Amino acid sequence: MAAARKKAAETLAQVDVVIEVLDARLPGASSNPMIAELRLHRQRPCLKVLNKTDLADPLATTAWLHTFGNQPLVKAVAVSSKRPADVAKLPKLAASLAPHRNSMIKRVRILVMGIPNVGKSTLINAMVKRRVANVGDQPAITKHQSRYDLGEQMELIDMPGLMWPAIEYPSDGLMLAASHAIGENAYIDEEVAVALAETLLIRYPALLAARYKCETEGLDGPGVIEAIAKQRGFRIKGGDLDYDKATRTLLSDYRSAALGRITLETPQSRKSMMEKVDAARAEKAAAEAEQAAIKEALRKAKSGPRDSAPE
């Protein structure tokens, strides 16, 4: 990971603009803080591309565009790399962020960055209108950096997906796993599916009810998995419900948008999630400090009389 960061930092120093590709279904969780740090260190402007909008909730996408559009040195745009008309507007937008370079003499150099599996290579193929880069619905398809000409005035650099060392908020890890940015060996399907079900119960209960013909009132995450197994008749030998198959069904229905167009977080839900986690952590730290202070006071009280005992 350190080597990938170093390579990204070196390349970033040589480019004019960064296109950061995000997954429109989880724009906050798919924002790599390391990319922001490297980019701001070099003061490089950024076009944030919310990709896969064909799978995402349009209202949530509008809210995210507004939030990102207010960040310094950033423009934000929503696309589906599968729609040529969406992608056609990107070269001009990216070039507009580096007006000093936009001439026949100085080509605009654009680095396409993002976490794994958000669609960087698909986007590049669509921009150059040829299948130049390998793509696939797995993280880490792209293994090395590659440069591609985009007409005579621009060049695009594709790079491997970049993760960062520690995911600060546990729900981000679950969203990233649900959306396939994290490899299958790194997480437990059932835990991810239960968390996904819990989010869907809060944000899209009607979609769950419609797809699995179940009453969502009073259900919790594991209850959704059970309802899917029952509704589909998934059973293992002996007749018990097949929870594994129901788990895989929910994940696959979310990933393919068979459930509908879903965004797992909005700017507002993300803000309140962070506030809650931060407050719980602060409370835990305060309780630990209090415990430590009590222990220290007890230790002093025990050793005190002996230390100060008269001779």
Dihedral sign for Cα 55, 89, 139, 18, please: negative
**Number of Cβ atoms within 10 Å of the Cβ of 40:** 12
Which residue, 82 or 232, is less far from ligand GTP as judged by CB?
Answer: 82
Q: Which is nearer to Mg ion, 90 or 250 (CB)?
A: 90
Q: Which two tokens stand for residue 283?
A: 């409370």
Distance CA 65, CA 77 (A): 7
Task: Tell me the closest approach of the beta carbon of residue 117 to ligand GTP, in angstroms.
Answer: 4
- 226-255 positions binding ligand GTP, by CB under 6 A: none
How far apart are alpha carbons 304 and 297 in whole angstroms? 10
State which residue, 84 or 99, has the beta carbon closest to ligand GTP: 84
55, 23 in Cβ contact below 8 A?
no
Selected binder of ligand GTP within 27, 119, 173, 221 (CB under 6 A): 119
> Closest approach of Cβ 200 to ligand GTP, in Å?
19
116 binds, among ligand GTP, Mg ion, none (CB under 5 to 8 A by kind): ligand GTP
The footprint of Mg ion on residues 139-198 (CB under 5 A) is 141-142
Binding-site member from 30, 32, 142, 171 for ligand GTP (CB under 6 A): 142
Look up residue 173 and give its amino acid.
G
Decide if residue 32 touches ligand GTP (CB under 6 A). no
Phi, then psi, of 302 in degrees rounded to 5: -70, -45
**Token pair in block for residue 225:** 């998995």
Q: Which residues bind Mg ion (CB under 5 A)?
A: 120-121, 141-142
